[in-house]
């Protein structure tokens, strides 16, 4: 078997580990202790810093910088990592940072589309099948679940959680948790509706979609406060796994969640 295909102008530290089927484009730099999985393609002018692990079959486009130290005043040079899974499409000039904290990691899952100029900050955890449009960004310690869509120039505040199958509108300012299955938009972001088409595309059953639609009306469209709305959902709607997950997510949102402006819901409790 032949080794990795490396352009003569690329700089690869001998301490980096590249699978035999890796391709590296011109003027790219890969530092020691970087690990690159099989069939991953690295374009031109890409920088992959130490303590970065990239899985199989990823495609990394021009100018991306992966694994820089965190933009965090609490970081003092401790050993931390950036871990990227398999089958990710990483477009031009993205920046993903390592974590703050000894042994901590910024983690990005599998099969994600991360468009040009996206930023994922320190200690973030991003799931699978996530789409981040151009110039969208995650501050530190953000958690993004599977199959989330972030519109262009969407900004997510530190420590925010985004539930599965949520859709965040372009230019949105997201400063509180985004419940699962909803669409949010605005500055600050507020719930605009259920991500019904996204649920269909994900293969969610009609029974679950109907139950979530009823729960959505109670949680985000009624005048009830959070506790009373949750009690009403639990009393009146079949407790399918998707409904239970929605309720548990809201209960766990200690810093509040995106509701509707001028609503009693979604505020810090």
Task: Answer whether residue 268 shows pLDDT above 60.
Answer: no
Interval 81-117: pLDDT, tens: 999 999 999 999 999 999 999 999 999 999 999 999 9
- Per-residue confidence (pLDDT) for residue 2, from 0 to 100: 74
- Per-residue confidence (pLDDT) for residue 260, from 0 to 100: 56
**CB-CB contact of 95 with 119 (8 Å):** yes
All domains of the chain, ordered by start, with CATH? Answer: 5-144 (2.160.10.10), 200-251 (1.20.1180.10)
**CB-CB contact of 99 with 79 (8 Å):** no
pTM to 2 decimal places: 0.93
Percent of the chain with pLDDT strictly greater than 90: 93
Interval 178-204: pLDDT, tens: 999 999 999 999 999 999 999 999 999
- Per-residue confidence (pLDDT) for residue 1, from 0 to 100: 55
**CB-CB contact of 217 with 224 (8 Å):** no
Whole-number Å distance between alpha carbons of 55 and 90: 12
- Per-residue confidence (pLDDT) for residue 135, from 0 to 100: 98
Interval 219-240: pLDDT, tens: 999 999 999 999 999 999 999 9
Whole-number Å distance between alpha carbons of 112 and 47: 20
Whole-number Å distance between alpha carbons of 75 and 192: 38
- Per-residue confidence (pLDDT) for residue 263, from 0 to 100: 47
Task: Answer whether residue 264 shows pLDDT above 50.
Answer: no
Task: Answer whether residue 23 shows pLDDT above 90.
Answer: yes
Q: How many CB atoms lie within 10 A of CB 129?
A: 17
Whole-number Å distance between alpha carbons of 161 and 124: 10
């Amino acid at each position: 078997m032949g080794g990795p295909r490396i352009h003569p102008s690329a700089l690869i530290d001998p301490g980096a580990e590249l699978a035999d089927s890796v391709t590296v484009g011109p003027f790219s730099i890969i530092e020691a202790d970087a690990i690159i999985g099989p069939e991953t393609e690295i374009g031109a002018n890409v920088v992959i810093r130490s303590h970065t692990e990239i899985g199989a079959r990823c495609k990394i486009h021009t100018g991306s910088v992966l694994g820089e130290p965190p933009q965090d005043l609490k970081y003092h040079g401790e050993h931390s990592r950036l871990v990227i899974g398999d089958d990710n499409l990483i477009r031009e000039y993205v920046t993903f940072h390592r974590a703050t904290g000894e042994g901590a990691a910024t983690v990005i899952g599998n099969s994600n589309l991360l468009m040009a100029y996206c930023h994922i900050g320190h200690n973030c955890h991003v799931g699978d099948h996530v789409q981040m449009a151009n110039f969208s960004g995650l501050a530190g310690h953000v958690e993004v679940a599977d199959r989330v869509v972030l519109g262009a120039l969407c900004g997510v505040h530190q420590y925010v959680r985004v539930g599965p199958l949520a859709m965040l509108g372009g230019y949105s300012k997201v400063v509180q948790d985004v419940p699962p299955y909803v669409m949010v938009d605005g500055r600050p972001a507020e719930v605009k509706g259920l991500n019904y088409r996204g649920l269909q595309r994900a293969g969610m059953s009609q029974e679950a979609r109907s139950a979530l639609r009823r729960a959505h009306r109670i949680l985000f469209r009624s005048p009830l406060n959070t506790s009373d709305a949750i009690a009403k959902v639990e009393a009146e709607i079949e407790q399918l796994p998707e409904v239970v997950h929605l309720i548990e997510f809201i209960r766990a949102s200690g810093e509040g969640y995106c509701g509707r402006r001028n609503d009693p819901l979604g505020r810090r409790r």
